[in-house]
């Protein structure tokens, strides 16, 4: 069984991420969406919320599952018996960063391959950071997020504003 891991913070997951997941599900027997617990970042959503939001977004893909992880990706992959890292690319700047990460992961575990997938052009400008900024400034992003995630962002921002954060 060929298992791939699609890692990221997914704060929140976007239609661009879901496009990569859909395409991976056609190539691999199993895809694990690996949600990174990064203590150096302050995400909008907790790890539990991110996992739940992603699970609601991928219900139609029976070969895809979501797991949280921390630490080295190659160690997580060994635990999952996965052999391929999938990374979505939007622009050359993504490639520069992801290429160096791929080389480091390969150094740490030569049995791990990295596969790059170009996002569809309609999502090439899209990032979770930009989405959060749009909503924080009172905008919306029609067609760039699943509807349930849009509602979750609006609730989360309203709560933060109410709490004075």
Q: Please identify every residue annotated as catalytic.
A: 17, 41, 90, 128
Q: Up-side HSE of residue 12: CA atoms within 13 Å toward CB?
A: 29
Q: Is 57 helix (H, G, I), strand (E, B) or coil?
A: helix
Q: How many angstroms separate the CA atoms of 86 and 92, rounded?
A: 16
Cβ–Cβ < 8 Å for 115, 107: no
3-state secondary structure of 39: coil
Q: Are 54 and 13 in contact (CB under 8 A)?
A: yes
Provide the phi-psi class of 137: left if phi over 0, else alpha when psi is between -120 and 50, else beta: alpha
User: Which residue carries 């929140």 as its tokens?
Assistant: 12
Side-chain-facing half-sphere of 51: CA atoms under 13 Å? 13
- Token reading at 95: 């490639």
């Amino acid at each position: 069984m060929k298992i791939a891991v699609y890692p990221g913070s997914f704060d929140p997951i976007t239609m661009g991420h879901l496009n990569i997941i859909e395409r991976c599900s056609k190539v691999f027997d199993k895809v694990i969406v690996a949600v990174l617990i990064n203590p150096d970042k302050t995400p909008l959503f907790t790890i539990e919320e991110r996992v739940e939001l992603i699970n609601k977004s991928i219900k139609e893909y029976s070969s895809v599952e979501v797991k949280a992880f921390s630490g080295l990706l190659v160690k997580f992959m060994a635990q999952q018996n996965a052999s391929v890292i999938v990374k979505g690319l939007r622009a050359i700047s993504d490639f520069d960063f992801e290429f160096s990460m791929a080389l480091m992961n390969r150094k740490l575990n030569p049995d791990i391959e990295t596969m790059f997938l170009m996002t569809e052009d309609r999502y090439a400008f899209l990032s979770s950071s930009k989405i959060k900024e749009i909503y924080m400034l009172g905008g919306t992003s029609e067609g760039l997020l699943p509807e349930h995630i849009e509602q979750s962002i609006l609730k989360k921002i309203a709560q933060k504003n109410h709490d004075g954060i």
